[in-house]
Structure 1
Amino acid sequence: MGGRGKRVATIGLMFIGAVAGAGFASGQEIWQFFGRHGPAGRWGLLLVVLSFWVVGVRALEHGQASQGRLDRFLAGFYPPRWVPVLEGAWLAFLAGQMALVAVGAGWTLGDLTGWPRVWGAGLTMLLTVATVLGGAGRVLRVNNLLTPLLMALMLAVAGLHRPHGVPAPGAAGGWWHSAGLYAAYNGLMGLVVLIALGPQLRARPERLAAAGLGALGLGALALAVWAVVATLPQPGQLPMVEAARRIGPGWGRAYALGLWVALFTTGVGEGFALVSRFGRRAAWSLLLAVGLAGWGFRELLVTLYPIMSVLAVLFLLPLIRHPRQIPSL
């Protein structure tokens, strides 16, 4: 693979790693937003893939124009006095996302090892900080190593899963609303990471390809997870882990470890965006998420999504404007 192809693949995998995290790989997100709609949920997934591609391309373009700075990106659309307020809102979003990472890691490593949940959360956040402090090079290398392994594991479990019947008809209508909420929340996750990585891709064809790779990869994974969770009798906290255990004990343990990888790559992506904006010292603030390790994963997910999806719209609106160079603030 040449230098251009390697850059495209690296950014595309970073997009996947940033989004396919806390609730995605567990199956809980896909169940809550698409699985409960039955077969109609697949239309929602198609809408999400298209949304991710558009958001990805525009985020990379704006990231190039704003030199990877979130504040400059916002200043191109909102009055200057709004920028600090919106950055504060993004920090609140980041806190919620890192809480999901910590809670999910606590559940996952606790299930694998028998550790108290706070131990699993603490170890995960320490590794996240160590990776982020290594700079963009370390972040991209770690993601390039772990994300393909996670993708292979998710597709393998989906392929080996034996459905318990066909997907139920599900809730009538409403799939478009679920798709909108899901695309907004996860679009913001990808947005902040891709803005930070925007300067890495200078040519428009590279940005189109990287965003397309990320969107298609996420769509394929989401459809595979949907095919599993939509046919489970009663999805619990971690539906994909439950499905893997039905295949065999070894698969259950392997998928639980894969779920931890998904949580970790999401934490690394969001942590990288934080450090890109506020400097290396900000990485240590990620450890605060350990204090939420005792929360229920599903309950936290259901609580945060509606709030954060509304907030996400304020960050996605600037994508409609053509990117331009923003002077230093």
Structure 2
Amino acid sequence: METKNSISSYKIATAYIGTIVGAGFASGQEVLQFFGVFGIWGLIGIILITGMFAVFGYGIMKVAKKIKADSHLPVIREVSGAKIGYLIDIVITAFLYGAVVTMAAGMGAIFLEEFNLSQTLGSAVLLGLTLVTVLFGIKGVLSTLSVVVPILMLTVLTISVASIATNWGTLMGNLSWTATEQAPVPFWPMSALIYTSYNIVIAIAVLAPLGLMASDENMKKGAILSGIGLGMGAGIITAAILANVPQVLTVEVPMLLIAGQVSPLLRVFYTVALIAGVYTTAVACLYGFGARVISPESVNFKYLVVGASVIAFFLSGVGFSSLVGILFPAVGYAGLLLLGSLTYTMLKGYQVNFSQYFNLWRLPGVGYRKLLTGNEKEQNKRRRNKN
């Protein structure tokens, strides 16, 4: 039975998945660059991330529960130490701002590819609305994230399944296709690891408090459900992308092209959902970035977010696909510090007592003979019996 201090595995899974599947994921560009370009090997890479999301998600919640952490900062410091923990916190803050820039570029791409309007206009409109919302009405928008994201993902998965069904023969023929020269991370197992890494860097802020509120059994089940859900979602989108290559390589928002091939009406619905997803993601990230740098109650908070928005406008000119290919891998490589520390911490919790074997190395002569030939007394007894 669920109590005040015990949340269900389902709630853990929905919170975990909801943190990771945002507008970048739903656009298809993120999945294309990290998995689609590797063909069938990308699908195998998705099997790897399924396991890694489950293992690392559970590990974070387990550590949080052990040290009774109510935020991600104590967890990071527990597994990485103060200095590395501080560095990882900087990476998280930088990624939040980078996400604002990426969403601005993404809105520019939507304006160009869907409405045939200027990318600059799209970026300016998004950042203007985002800034106004952060300064005057963020609470209502943040609450809509829990509604917008599920609708967006349901739409994306519906489009993907429909595209796979109508292009099954093409999908089977394209499994051997690759475009690794366009991959931001050139080796598919490493691409899967980097993808997991940068997503865990963001998800830890949600996973740590969950660990304090859930039982160990629910943490395990929730982590496993999350891994399966994220893996299935990425796998379905990757399959849809492979059913539409190489056409999807020529656009900034692959799912827009795929949606249009399935149904013009579905494309319109997807566009509306994607715009809402990009907007709410940008609002959450801009507010999160500002709040980590300075208190939202401070008079300087508004100057910070205004300045950050202006700079983001100019940076968004780099382009959506380019930003996904630069920012996400960079954060992923930096996040390996966290994954490495977390792996070490988790392994310490499952130590096997090898001391009985290591003691042999302290007695070179007798030790090696025991290891290789068994007990010396038994050896002498066998020799006497033989004689």
> Contact 2:39/2:242 (CA < 8 Å) preserved in 1?
yes
Q: CA deviation at 1:271?
A: 6.4
AA of the residue aligned to 1:294: G
> Contact 2:93/2:292 (CA < 8 Å) preserved in 1?
no
2:266 aligns with one of 251, 255, 262: 251
Q: Deviations over 1:24-45 (max 9, x none)?
A: 1111111112112112211100
The answer to whether residue 10 in structure 2 is matched with residue 9 in structure 1 is: yes
How does 1:209-228 map onto structure 2 within 5 Å? 209-228=221-240
1:152 aligns with one of 151, 154, 167: 154
Structure 2 residues without counterparts, runs of 5 or longer: 181-185, 348-387
Change (3 A) 1:221 1:61: same
How does 1:274-285 map onto structure 2 within 5 Å? 275=291, 280-281=296-297
The answer to whether residue 195 in structure 2 is matched with residue 193 in structure 1 is: no
Change (3 A) 1:46 1:122: farther
Distance 1:256 1:120 in 2: 15
Match of 2:177? Answer: 170
SS of aligned partner of 2:22: coil
> Contact 1:192/1:273 (CA < 8 Å) preserved in 2?
no
1:308 aligns with one of 310, 317, 331: 331
TM-score by length of 2: 0.70
Match of 2:125? Answer: 119
Structure 1 residues without counterparts, runs of 5 or longer: 324-329
Match of 1:260? Answer: 275
Change (3 A) 1:68 1:101: farther
Structure with greater helix percent: 2
Q: CA deviation at 1:66?
A: 5.2
The answer to whether residue 62 in structure 2 is matched with residue 61 in structure 1 is: yes
How does 1:68-107 map onto structure 2 within 5 Å? 68-107=70-109
Q: CA deviation at 1:226?
A: 0.7
1:295 aligns with one of 301, 318, 323: 318
Match of 1:240? Answer: 255
Distance 1:272 1:204 in 2: 32
> Contact 1:102/1:124 (CA < 8 Å) preserved in 2?
no
> Contact 2:79/2:341 (CA < 8 Å) preserved in 1?
yes
AA of the residue aligned to 2:327: L
Q: What is the percent sequence identity of the aligned residues?
A: 24
SS of aligned partner of 1:160: helix
Q: CA deviation at 1:46?
A: 0.7
Q: CA deviation at 1:62?
A: 3.2
Match of 2:373? Answer: none
The list of structure 1 runs, each at least 4 consecutive aligned residues, that deviate by more than 6 angstroms after superposition, is 1-6, 128-131
Change (3 A) 1:28 1:109: same
Change (3 A) 1:133 1:149: closer
Q: Deviations over 1:46-80 (max 9, x none)?
A: 10111111121122233443523333223213443
Q: Deviations over 1:141-191 (max 9, x none)?
A: 534322321232112101221327232413489321221221112222222
Change (3 A) 1:68 1:261: farther
Q: CA deviation at 1:222?
A: 0.8
Q: CA deviation at 1:2?
A: 6.5
Distance 1:158 1:227 in 2: 8
Distance 1:142 1:311 in 2: 31
Q: Deviations over 1:129-151 (max 9, x none)?
A: 777657xxx85x53432232123
AA of the residue aligned to 1:260: I
Match of 1:179? Answer: 192
> Contact 1:17/1:262 (CA < 8 Å) preserved in 2?
no
Distance 2:137 2:177 in 1: 41
SS of aligned partner of 1:67: coil
Q: Deviations over 1:78-135 (max 9, x none)?
A: 443444343223322222233222322343366666582210233246546777657x
Match of 1:51? Answer: 52
> Contact 1:14/1:143 (CA < 8 Å) preserved in 2?
no
The answer to whether residue 341 in structure 2 is matched with residue 318 in structure 1 is: yes
> Contact 1:15/1:194 (CA < 8 Å) preserved in 2?
yes
Q: CA deviation at 1:227?
A: 1.3
How does 1:34-45 map onto structure 2 within 5 Å? 34-45=35-46
TM-score by length of 1: 0.81
> Contact 1:21/1:264 (CA < 8 Å) preserved in 2?
no
Distance 1:259 1:219 in 2: 21
> Contact 2:72/2:205 (CA < 8 Å) preserved in 1?
yes
Distance 1:237 1:103 in 2: 10
AA of the residue aligned to 1:169: S
AA of the residue aligned to 1:295: V
SS of aligned partner of 1:237: coil
Work out which of the two has the higher radius of gyration on C-alpha atoms and give 1 or 2. 2
Distance 1:10 1:102 in 2: 30
Match of 1:327? Answer: none
Change (3 A) 1:104 1:124: farther
